[in-house]
Amino acid sequence: MVFTPASHHRTMKKIHLTTALLLILCLLLSRQAFAGNDRTITIWAMGAEGDKLLAVARAFEAENPGVRVRVQTIPWGEAHAKLITAYVGGHTPDIAQLGTTWTAEFNAMNALLPLDRYLSRERDGTSRDNPSPNDISSSDFFKGAWKTVNFNGTIYGIPWYVETRCLYYRTDILQKAGIAKAPETWEELESTGIKLAHPPSTYGILLPERDEQALLPFIGQAGGKILDENGEPRVDSEPAERALAFYVKLFDMGIAPRGTMKDVNLVQTFAEENPPFAMFISGPWMLTQLAEKAPQLKGKWGVAPLPKDRAASSYMGGSNLVIFKGSKNPDLAWSFMQYLSSRENQIAWFKSTGDLPSRPDAWSDPALADDSFLAAFRVQLETAEPPPGLPEWEQMADVIARRMEQAVLKQKSIREALAEINQDIAVMLKRRTEPQPSSYKFAVLGCTALIILAGFFLYFRRALQEEGGASPHTVPVKKVAGPGIWTTLFLLPALSILAIFLFLPIIASFLMSLTNYDLYSLASWQEMKVVGMANYQKIIADPRFWKSVYNTFVFSIVGGPITIIVALAAALAVEKMSKMRALYLLGFFLPVVTTLVAVAIVWKWIYHPRFGLLNALLMMFSVSPRDWLSNPHTALPALIAMAVWKNFGYTMIILLSGLQAIPKTYYEAADLDGAGTLTRFREITIPLLKPTLFLVTTLTTIGYLQFFAEPYVMTQGGPIDSTLSVVLYLYQKGFKFYLMGEAAATSFILFFLIFAISMVQIIMGRKSEAHL
């Protein structure tokens, strides 16, 4: 407290009073100020969850006057990239929803706030000053879910909702085969399968050939693990071998179909009178899908926990809530997380979204307990295991899926496949443990940068010497300020922007391609290592890359010419029109001006298997409906059709300006000579349009070789990579796996491919230009 030595009591009293009043005023003001500024938190949630969360946030605000919760919705597809860039940019929200497998990545980047201080008080049993029913401890949650927030004993999040995989089966078909209940053990699965299977028309169970999420539960059931307690890979152990051997055996015995069933629509096929398979494994979302899309099947199907072997196990997924380190209000953020995790709010959340509660005690609510289908999931959640919580998991998953497919297809023996998975995982884990002196890194990267710059310097210098003899100006120079200064002034803005935002980033990107720049490097530069050409070798050896190259070439070789031909026809038609020309021009150009996001939404609807316009149209001609975007044979053509529709107007405009530049006198002369339409087209239009045609061919090819937005918005590269383009591959490397080094390497390989093609076109173009 303020204390001033003074002689006069009265003055002192006065001073004290004033001070006290001032202090009170200050406190009041500051309190109000605090209420205005510091009682606000931001939470990012994905897709539908974000929308539904708004109502919960309002309820929380009502219970806590003065608190503001800002809910920001991020589309699922972009959420991962958005969260990472937000972290790199230092703009993280207070709380975010993270997919369970993402939590490890953000933890690896050192982005998350440890939550132990909020939890520990309950753990050691000491009573709190103000105990509240919202207190949280690890015992409140499913064990498997808690593992996704626990990293080396430190807690970095709270499980928000969970999902796991169960066995879906047709009760009527099992009964017909004399089986009363769903298989509970591996032996029963095998015997049931044998009774049901009559290959090649009927099988027992549908199992994916290439999906690590399908194999993991089997490994868990056999008592195995991907990584042991010390983080060492254990995929070559006996339980994993037992699991993969059993998995492959199901295919060998004809219980599970190989190949042929890959492209089916799961729900539709399962709902057939005599489906080719009576069982499959999937998550809780199938409950709604089956109820909505196959209402006729009601009462003929059931859900059971996965068959056991030595233990019960399944895959555990879902979403966690985390607090970012940058949060200015972690206490308030925590209380909101507590609020979301309370039993009653978990139940309310289930009712509003269908997301399964992460707390076992929420499951006693009638809404969940009375649902017989959910009972299987309730049982399964007790034993479900999440995949290893490592930032490298996405890459590991990719390796497991690939090798598992090779084992199922008998390209590799069980032992071989597992040994290779183990080997690959060991390499992935080792990569980050070996340090590299920073002087070495800077020397290598610095030298490379210098060589590139020196290369540019020499290139332009030599060109300068070659040009030396030529006269410097086309037109006579004015006395005072000649083009010399003006050249610089006019070029300066464009060239400096290009230098800063294009040339330098390209060089930076090339340097990045020589390193293993990844998530850890984003967190700290020290983690980055120079790897030389290893990224390039890896990409060139990756069959997925070549698949993407193939798709991209198909896209430009088929899509490019179609676009140009349609555009040329449209341009010629519009050019000839005397009436309603503007209407047609506008109509053809309409798709070009439209936002791709809007276009994608409409076209998804057009291609929709049940409510789609295309299927409606085909049904008028009694063609059976298709699931256009889910079938690997139709997905790429469907995207090409959309791209032609979207882009031909752009090409048309350029061609139109070229057509209008052709002097009318030529046509008039041709008319006098009695030339036909076709002759005029061949003899006048095409030759005079050549430069423009060359321009649009180059632009269209380059544009289509960079084809990205269409598959990104519509299919994400699927099904089975049938629409994976090179740029999408690159984007996934960079912004899904965060292997920025490999992504940069891919971009340079792509650059060389495009460069080679463009060189051919430019040379051809030069010839025609010279001809004119």
Positions 66 through 105 that interact with another protein (CB under 8 A): 70, 72-78, 81-82, 85-86, 88-91
d(C-alpha 162, C-alpha 641), whole Å:
39
Could you say which of 321, 606, 635, 639 contacts another protein (CB under 8 A)?
Answer: 606
Residue 586 lies near another protein (rule: CB under 8 A): yes
Residue 296 lies near another protein (rule: CB under 8 A): no
CB count in 10 Å sphere of residue 611 = 9
- Report the residue number, 297 or 695, with the smaller CB distance to another protein: 695
- Report the residue number, 32 or 72, with the smaller CB distance to another protein: 72
Residue 137 lies near another protein (rule: CB under 8 A): no
Could you say which of 130, 476, 543, 763 contacts another protein (CB under 8 A)?
Answer: 476
Residue 573 lies near another protein (rule: CB under 8 A): yes
Residue 623 one-letter amino acid: V
- Taking CB under 8 A as the binding criterion, the range among 128-136, 151-159, 431-439, 456-464 that sits at the site for another protein is 456-464
Residue 537 beta carbon to another protein: minimum distance, rounded to whole angstroms: 19
Could you say which of 28, 481, 686, 764 contacts another protein (CB under 8 A)?
Answer: 481
- Report the residue number, 61 or 184, with the smaller CB distance to another protein: 61
Strands across the sheet with 203-206, in order? 203-206, 277-282, 166-170, 301-304
Contact mark string toward another protein, 740..759, x via CB under 8 A: x--xx--xx-xx--xx--x-
Residue 194 lies near another protein (rule: CB under 8 A): no
Apex 22 CA angle, 20 and 24, nearest 5: 70
Using an 8 Å Cβ cutoff, are 558 and 640 in contact? yes
Strand 40-46 to 95-99 pairing: parallel
- Taking CB under 8 A as the binding criterion, the range among 309-317, 359-367, 375-383, 705-713 that sits at the site for another protein is 705-713
Residue 639 lies near another protein (rule: CB under 8 A): no
Where are the extended beta strands (E) located within 100-156?
150-151, 154-155
Residue 289 beta carbon to another protein: minimum distance, rounded to whole angstroms: 9
Residue 276 beta carbon to another protein: minimum distance, rounded to whole angstroms: 25
d(C-alpha 127, C-alpha 116), whole Å:
16
Could you say which of 200, 446, 587, 687 contacts another protein (CB under 8 A)?
Answer: 587
- Report the residue number, 98 or 174, with the smaller CB distance to another protein: 98
Using an 8 Å Cβ cutoff, are 396 and 110 in contact? no
Residue 488 token pair:
């610089």
Could you say which of 440, 457, 525, 605 contacts another protein (CB under 8 A)?
Answer: 605
**Torsion sign, CA atoms 660, 663, 664, 668:** negative
* Residues 6+ away with beta carbon under 8 Å from 526: 438
CB < 8 Å & 24+ apart, contacts of 138-143? 140/341, 140/359, 140/360, 140/361, 141/358, 141/359, 141/360, 142/316, 142/358, 142/359, 142/360, 142/381, 142/382, 142/384, 143/382
Residue 672 lies near another protein (rule: CB under 8 A): no
- Taking CB under 8 A as the binding criterion, the range among 230-238, 339-347, 441-449, 482-490 that sits at the site for another protein is 482-490
Residue 595 lies near another protein (rule: CB under 8 A): yes
Could you say which of 180, 678, 763, 770 contacts another protein (CB under 8 A)?
Answer: 678
Which residue has tokens 């190989």? 258
Contact mark string toward another protein, 33..72, x via CB under 8 A: -------------xxxxxx------------------x-x
Residue 711: helix, strand or coil by DSSP? helix
Residue 577 lies near another protein (rule: CB under 8 A): yes
- Report the residue number, 77 or 532, with the smaller CB distance to another protein: 77
User: For the residues of 204-271, what is the DSSP string, one character each?
Assistant: EEE--SS-HHHHHHHHHHTT--SB-TTS-B-TTSHHHHHHHHHHHHHHHTTSS--SGGGGS-HHHHHT
- Taking CB under 8 A as the binding criterion, the range among 129-137, 205-213, 381-389, 702-710 that sits at the site for another protein is 702-710
Apex 536 CA angle, 531 and 542, nearest 5: 120
Query: Site size for another protein, by CB under 8 A?
Result: 130
CA R_g for the chain? 33
d(C-alpha 655, C-alpha 668), whole Å:
21
Residue 588 lies near another protein (rule: CB under 8 A): yes
CA nearest neighbour of 378 among 279, 243, 270, 287: 287
Could you say which of 125, 493, 541, 543 contacts another protein (CB under 8 A)?
Answer: 493
Residue 222 beta carbon to another protein: minimum distance, rounded to whole angstroms: 34
- Report the residue number, 186 or 588, with the smaller CB distance to another protein: 588
- Taking CB under 8 A as the binding criterion, the range among 16-24, 121-129, 417-425, 580-588 that sits at the site for another protein is 580-588
